[in-house]
């Protein structure tokens, strides 16, 4: 935190060179700063950068201007309280690479990223994974280094067990659990876990460029919640449970292909995609 103080006297006097002392809530000296400016009425210090207390809470410190004799005038000591609130650092949590569908009771992995608003080091600190009933189902430990290319995000991967029943569950991550010196407000992030029964049918989707009739590799096939990507032959295989779906096939610069399908057996679908018209500027 940064402090700046003003000192004025009656009658006005130039106190440049005089030093102000800061005492913390225990009365211990926390720092000092010289008066450097005088505008004819008021003296002012330069900026004093100080460390805030490590515990969150309300504090009152004191600025003390010791007694001084200047130009044969003696000025008595003056004090001013400095009241402030120390807030804990905030923690942000991000979760990604959650599989869009997990088979009941199977294991799955997610990535968890945690970051302090003041970019504190979170090396080796811990976080908890909580299920839809609030029970902690796993803990994770952050690595020793920040994620490359970020300014303070620590990233870990955790392995989790899916619930035994089908459904969409909301789980959460809370951090930090332990391992951080300075107080941090809890950060949390929730995420959905879609649990499905074991797929019964295979849907083979062939993605084709409509104009050239050539295969489209890398096309994204989505039959919510199932996803796949087409291979070099333009083929994507999606294993799904029986039921109605909207089959989407999309590819960069192509118009998305959408087709309602009812799956009650293995099936094939052919998706012919047309290039999206380039927006004209005229």
Partner 1 sequence: MAKKRDTDQKNAKLRGEKAVSRRDFVKSGAAAGAAVFSTSGTALAQVSPVEAIRWDYEVDVVVIGAGCTGLPAAIRARDLGASVIIVEQNFDVGGKMLHSGGQISLGGGDPLQLRDIRGERDAEGFVTAPRQHTVEELTEDTDFLFKDHTDWSVMDAAAQAPYRYNERDLHRAYADNCYATREFLMANYVRMGRISGTHGNGGMSRARRAVTFLMEGPATDIKKGTVSRQDAGIRRVSSSHFAPRFMEDGAKVASPGARVNGAALSRCLEFSAREKGVRFILNCHMDEIIREQQFSGRVVGIRASYSPRFHPQTGARLESLWQNGNIDDRRETIYIRARKAIVIGSGGHANNPQFRSMFYPAWREPAFVSSGWALLGPRGQDASGIIAGMRIGANLAGMHQNLSYGSTFHFPGTLATRDPYTDMLPGHPTFPFRGSTGIVLGTDSFQHLIVVNQVGKRFFNEMLVTVREGGAAFPAGPGKGQPRSGLAHVQGDWRNASADNIRKTYTEPNSIHAALAINEGSKPPDYLSGPIWTIFDRAAVERDKWNINPPFTSPTNGFFFSADTIEELAAKIYKGHEFQRVPLTYLAETVAKWNSYVDRGSDPEFGRGSDAPMYRIEKPPFYAATLYPVWHDSYGGLRINGRAQVVDLQGEPIPGLYAGGEASGGGNQHGLGRALVHGYIAGTNAARESST
Ligand X SMILES: Cc1cc2nc3c(=O)[nH]c(=O)nc-3n(C[C@H](O)[C@H](O)[C@H](O)COP(=O)(O)OP(=O)(O)OC[C@H]3O[C@@H](n4cnc5c(N)ncnc54)[C@H](O)[C@@H]3O)c2cc1C
Binding site for partner 1 (CB under 8 A): 90, 92, 94-98, 111, 113, 115, 117, 147, 149-153, 168, 170, 189-192, 194, 220, 222, 224-225, 246, 248, 250, 252-256, 258, 276-282
Please report how close the Cβ of residue 194 comes to partner 1 at its closest, in angstroms. Answer: 6
| Residues 222-281 within binding reach of ligand X (CB under 6 A) | 281
How many amino acids of this chain bind ligand X (CB under 6 A)? 2
Please report how close the Cβ of residue 282 comes to ligand X at its closest, in angstroms. Answer: 3
Nearer to partner 1, 33 or 95 (CB): 95
Find which of partner 1, ligand X, none residue 113 binds, CB within 5 to 8 Å per kind: partner 1
Q: State which H helix or E strand residue 113 sits in.
A: strand 107-116
62-66: long-range contacts, CB 8 A cutoff, minimum separation 24: 62/22, 62/23, 63/3, 63/5, 63/20, 63/21, 63/22, 64/20, 64/21, 64/22, 64/23, 65/7, 65/15, 65/18, 65/20, 66/18, 66/19, 66/21
Triad 182, 184, 190: Cα angle to 5°: 150
Find which of partner 1, ligand X, none residue 150 binds, CB within 5 to 8 Å per kind: partner 1
74 binding ligand X? (CB under 6 A): no
Please report how close the Cβ of residue 31 comes to partner 1 at its closest, in angstroms. Answer: 28
Please report how close the Cβ of residue 279 comes to ligand X at its closest, in angstroms. Answer: 11
Contact 118, 89 (CB under 8 A): yes
Strand 243-250 to 220-223 pairing = antiparallel
Please report how close the Cβ of residue 255 comes to ligand X at its closest, in angstroms. Answer: 24
Instruction: Give how far Cα 177 sits from Cα of 123, 124, 131, 274, 282, Å.
Output: 12, 11, 16, 51, 57
Contact 83, 179 (CB under 8 A): no
Find which of ligand X, partner 1, none residue 179 binds, CB within 5 to 8 Å per kind: none
Nearer to ligand X, 40 or 277 (CB): 277
282 binding ligand X? (CB under 6 A): yes
**Alpha carbon of residue 39 to chain centroid:** 46
Query: Interface with ligand X by CB under 6 A: which residues?
Result: 281-282
């Amino acid at each position: 935190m940064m402090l700046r103080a003003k000192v004025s006297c009656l009658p006005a006097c130039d106190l440049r060179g005089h030093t102000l002392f800061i005492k913390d809530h225990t009365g211990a000296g926390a720092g000092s700063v010289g008066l450097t400016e005088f505008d004819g009425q008021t003296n002012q210090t330069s900026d004093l950068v100080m460390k805030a207390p490590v515990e969150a809470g309300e504090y009152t410190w004191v600025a003390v201007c010791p007694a001084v004799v200047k130009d044969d005038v003696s000025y008595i000591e003056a004090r001013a309280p400095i009241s402030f609130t120390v807030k804990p650092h905030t923690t942000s949590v991000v979760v990604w690479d959650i599989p869009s569908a997990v088979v009941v009771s199977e294991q799955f992995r997610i990535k968890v990223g945690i970051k302090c608003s003041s970019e504190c080091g979170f090396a080796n600190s811990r976080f908890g994974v909580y299920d839809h009933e609030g029970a902690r189902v796993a803990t994770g430990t952050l690595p020793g280094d920040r994620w490359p290319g970020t300014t303070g995000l620590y990233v870990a991967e955790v392995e989790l067990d899916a619930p035994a029943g089908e459904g969409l569950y909301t789980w959460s991550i809370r951090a930090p659990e332990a391992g951080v010196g300075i107080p941090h407000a809890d950060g949390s992030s929730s995420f959905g876990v879609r649990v499905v029964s074991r797929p019964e049918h295979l849907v083979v989707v062939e993605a084709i460029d409509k104009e050239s009739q050539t295969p489209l590799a890398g096309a994204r096939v989505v039959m919510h919640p199932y996803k796949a990507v087409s291979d070099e032959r333009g083929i994507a295989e999606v294993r799904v449970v029986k039921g109605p779906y909207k089959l989407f096939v999309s590819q960069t610069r192509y118009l998305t292909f959408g087709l309602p399908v009812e799956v009650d057996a293995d099936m094939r679908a052919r998706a012919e995609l047309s290039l999206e018209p380039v927006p004209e500027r005229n």
